[in-house]
Amino acid sequence: EVQLVESGGKLVQAGESLRLSCAASGDTFDDYAVGWFRQVPGEGRQGLSCLSTSGFDYSDSAKGRFTMSMNNARNTVFLEMRRLKPEDTAVYYCATVIEGKYNDGLQSNEMERWGKGTQVNVSS
């Protein structure tokens, strides 16, 4: 089974950019849809982007500022975040679900395996 480890979170100032990574071990992403989510205290996990055999999908909150990509080895995905805002402060997670076993890769309750997350703090 695939194991996920996120990295790259840190404290940045508003307007800056940041790239997060999610590394898979035990498997590649070949047989999975993989998504990026974020969560702030007291709220549920918000879907940001998803990569599947259908291509990339982005939530409205991610479109225009966030870009998801994957390396050639298909074992690491990235989330490039630009023009960061204080409201982007959250714990960012990646998650996977076996291809064909979900309806909407931006819904957290559809995902099966999760990393532990990486904290992003954006100061004003």
pLDDT, averaged in runs of 10, over the chain (124 residues)? 96 98 95 97 96 94 96 97 97 95 90 97 97
How many H helices and E strands in the chain? 0, 11
CA angle, 65 then 77 then 67, to 5°:
15
**DSSP secondary structure letter of residue 92:** E
Where are the alpha helices (H) located in the chain, listed in sequence order? none
Q: Report how far apart, in Å, the C-alpha atoms of 16 and of each of 50, 70, 107, 124 are.
A: 23, 22, 27, 11
> How many Å apart are CA 1 and CA 10, to the nearest integer?
28
